[in-house]
């Protein structure tokens, strides 16, 4: 007889890597609600509510704010595939692995890509980005806000205005930073932003909230070709070249997420429930309290790590508040430490990629997992584990230092 395996019963974990992190139990509960048909008026009401909630999360008035089904990169692909016509110039300032991902995706869309790079652990000055825009005259600048691979956050306040001055669109991947730090889509003149649920939004991976403004709308509508089988007599093919992906075709998704409700894919019901609940939880807490919680947690965690004698990674002035990079000390086997943390304490932390692979650990304190109890548990577990590997430090100091940050908050 074929084995049916055991009923799923995942071991309890504290997910403190760079994502996914622990989902808020309220989100998991929302996901267990009964399914509805995709054109059930109750369900289309939830779709509209989700659009409204994410307008607030993205701090935008953009009508076009909805979900792409898929992980965060599905949101990126939808925007890129719909905007970029082969040969379009795109500028990607790269300060980590996820900048590289933007070149990977835009390359597949046929973009003529220009890049600028800065050492991992640093970010760009606005001037450097403006100089590159002047030199390359891109149609689109694609930038990551928080690059989890390096734990750095690129300041964005001035970039939108720079792009407008030079008639370029600005796209921002805020997957890792959204609701852990400020992101003002409209005030900062960002034309399109995409995200994912599995970081500060405290949901599971599998839904990508996106937003884009009229400038993007105008471009993508020039490429509107409604699928055969669902189009009606009024649908005329636009002059622009067809968008190469059906799944990620923004004009067709706009018809699905608006009053027309023209069938496209079958909306991922349970993921929509999850995304809706994630946004509700964020807005109930409020941005100010949420950003302060992430900043305080970052201060407590970094104080504890420093007290253990560990060296923090990267330019601390631009550190993301929700992920902390720390150098693996010489002679300490980084992966064995991570394995021991998981085995003995049920705590997951991450390493990094490319030039940082095996050189740093990354500790995530995001959304639901951004909590004092997690910081203190992680510090004491890391300390005990390092001791087992023969690392010398003044034991007990880490938790004391973290606690004094909380006491003095
Ligand atoms: C900044 C950033 N962008 C994009 C992604 C890709 O997300 P996904 O794996 O959900 O497709 C990640 C995932 O870690 C990320 O941190």
pLDDT per residue over 378-396, tens digit each? Answer: 999 999 999 999 998 888 8
Query: Ligand 1 centre from 32 Cα, in Å?
Result: 25
Q: Which atom of ligand 1 is nearest to the CA of 148?
A: 16
Query: Ligand 1 centre from 73 Cα, in Å?
Result: 6
Yes or no: say if 90 and 114 are a contact pair by the CB < 8 Å rule: yes
Burial of residue 25 (CB within 10 Å: 0-12, 13-18, 19+) is: exposed
What stretch of H or E contains 164? helix 159-165
Top mutation candidate among 76, 194, 196, 323 for ligand 1, by most atoms within 8 Å of CB: 196
d(C-alpha 121, C-alpha 89), whole Å: 27
Task: Give the pLDDT confidence score for residue 86 in this predicted structure.
Answer: 97
| Residue 310, both tokens | 């560990």
Top mutation candidate among 148, 174, 183, 207 for ligand 1, by most atoms within 8 Å of CB: 148
Top mutation candidate among 175, 183, 325, 354 for ligand 1, by most atoms within 8 Å of CB: 175
- State the helix-helix crossing angle for 372-388 and 397-407, rounded to 10 degrees: 160
d(C-alpha 160, C-alpha 71), whole Å: 26
Domains delineated in the chain: 25-283 (3.40.640.10), 287-408 (3.90.1150.10)
C-beta atoms surrounding 396 within 10 Å: 12
Whose alpha carbon is nearest atom 8 of ligand 1?
A: 72
* Ligand 1 site residues, Cβ closer than 6 angstroms: 19, 71-73, 98, 101, 144, 147-148, 173, 175-176, 196, 205
pLDDT < 50 regions, the chain: none
- Tell me the pTM: 0.97
Task: Give the pLDDT confidence score for residue 395 in this predicted structure.
Answer: 84
Q: Which atom of ligand 1 is nearest to the CA of 198?
A: 10
Query: Ligand 1 centre from 173 Cα, in Å?
Result: 9
Q: Can you point out the beta strands (E) in 251-406?
A: 323-327, 347-348, 360-364
pLDDT digits (tens, 9 = 90+) for 18-65: 999 999 999 999 999 999 999 999 999 999 999 999 999 999 999 999
Q: Which atom of ligand 1 is nearest to the CA of 74?
A: 11
């Amino acid at each position: 007889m074929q084995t049916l395996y055991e009923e799923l019963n995942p071991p309890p974990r504290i997910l403190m890597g760079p994502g996914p992190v622990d989902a808020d139990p309220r989100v998991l509960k929302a996901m267990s609600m009964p399914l509805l048909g995709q054109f059930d008026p109750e369900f289309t009401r939830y779709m509209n509510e989700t659009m409204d909630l994410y307008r607030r999360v993205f701090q935008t008035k953009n009508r076009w704010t909805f979900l792409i089904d898929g992980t965060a990169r599905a949101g990126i692909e939808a925007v890129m595939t719909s905007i970029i016509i082969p040969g379009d110039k795109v500028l990607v300032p790269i300060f980590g692995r996820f900048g590289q991902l933007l070149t990977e995706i835009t390359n597949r869309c046929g973009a003529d890509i220009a890049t600028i790079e800065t050492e991992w652990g640093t970010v760009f000055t606005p001037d450097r980005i403006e100089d590159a825009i002047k030199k390359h005259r891109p149609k689109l600048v694609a930038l990551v806000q928080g690059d989890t691979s390096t734990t750095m956050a690129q300041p964005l306040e001035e970039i939108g205005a720079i792009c407008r001055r030079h008639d370029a669109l600005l796209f921002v991947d805020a997957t890792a930073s959204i609701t852990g730090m400020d992101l003002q889509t409209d005030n900062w003149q960002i034309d399109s932003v995409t995200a994912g649920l599995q970081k500060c939004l405290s949901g599971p991976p599998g839904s990508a909230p996106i937003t884009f403004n009229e400038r993007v709308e105008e471009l993508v509508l020039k490429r509107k070709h409604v699928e055969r089988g669902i189009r009606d007599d009024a649908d005329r093919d636009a002059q622009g070249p067809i968008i190469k992906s059906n799944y990620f075709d923004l004009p067709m998704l706009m018809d699905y997420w608006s009053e027309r409700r023209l069938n496209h894919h079958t909306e991922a019901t349970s993921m929509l429930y999850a995304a809706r609940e994630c946004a509700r939880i964020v807005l109930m807490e409020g941005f100010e309290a949420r950003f302060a919680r992430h900043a305080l947690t970052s201060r407590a965690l970094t104080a504890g790590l420093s007290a253990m004698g560990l060296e923090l990674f990267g330019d601390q002035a631009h550190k993301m508040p929700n992920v902390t990079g720390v150098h693996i000390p010489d002679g300490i086997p980084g992966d064995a430490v991570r394995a021991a943390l998981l085995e003995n304490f049920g705590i997951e932390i991450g390493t990094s990629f490319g030039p940082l692979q095996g050189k740093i650990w990354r500790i995530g304190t995001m959304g639901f997992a951004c909590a004092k109890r997690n910081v203190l548990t992680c510090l004491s577990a890391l300390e005990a584990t390092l001791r087992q590997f023969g690392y010398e430090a003044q034991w007990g100091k880490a938790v004391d230092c973290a606690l004094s940050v909380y006491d003095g908050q």
